[in-house]
Amino acid sequence: MEKREVNQYSPLTLAFLGDAVYSQLVREKLVLGANMPVKKLHPASVERVRANYQARAAALIEPLLTEDEAAVMKRGRNASCSAASVPKSSDPAEYHRATSLECLFGYLHLLGCHDRIRELFEYIWENTEVSPVADARKH
Q: How confident is the model at residue 13 (pLDDT cuts 50, 70, 90)?
A: very high
> Tell me, what's the pLDDT at 95?
85
Catalytic center residues: 19
Could you give the CA distance from residue 124 to residue 59 in angstroms, rounded to a whole number? Answer: 10
> Where exactly are the structural domains of the chain?
3-138
Residue 133 has pLDDT above 50, yes or no: no
Question: For the chain, what is the mean pLDDT?
Answer: 88
First to last CA, the chain: 43
* pLDDT digit string, tens, across residues 31-45: 999 888 999 999 999
**10 CB neighbour count, 10 Å cutoff:** 13
> Tell me, what's the pLDDT at 3?
94
Could you give the CA distance from residue 138 to residue 44 in angstroms, rounded to a whole number? Answer: 7
Q: Which CATH class is domain 3-138?
A: mainly alpha
Q: What single-letter amino acid sits at 77?
A: R
Residue 135 has pLDDT above 80, yes or no: no
Question: Over the Cα atoms of the chain, what is R_g?
Answer: 15
Query: Where do the H-state alpha helices sit in the chain?
Result: 3-6, 11-33, 38-49, 51-61, 67-78, 92-111, 114-127, 132-138
* pLDDT digit string, tens, across residues 59-107: 999 999 999 999 999 999 988 765 556 666 667 788 889 999 999 999 9
Residue 138 has pLDDT above 90, yes or no: no
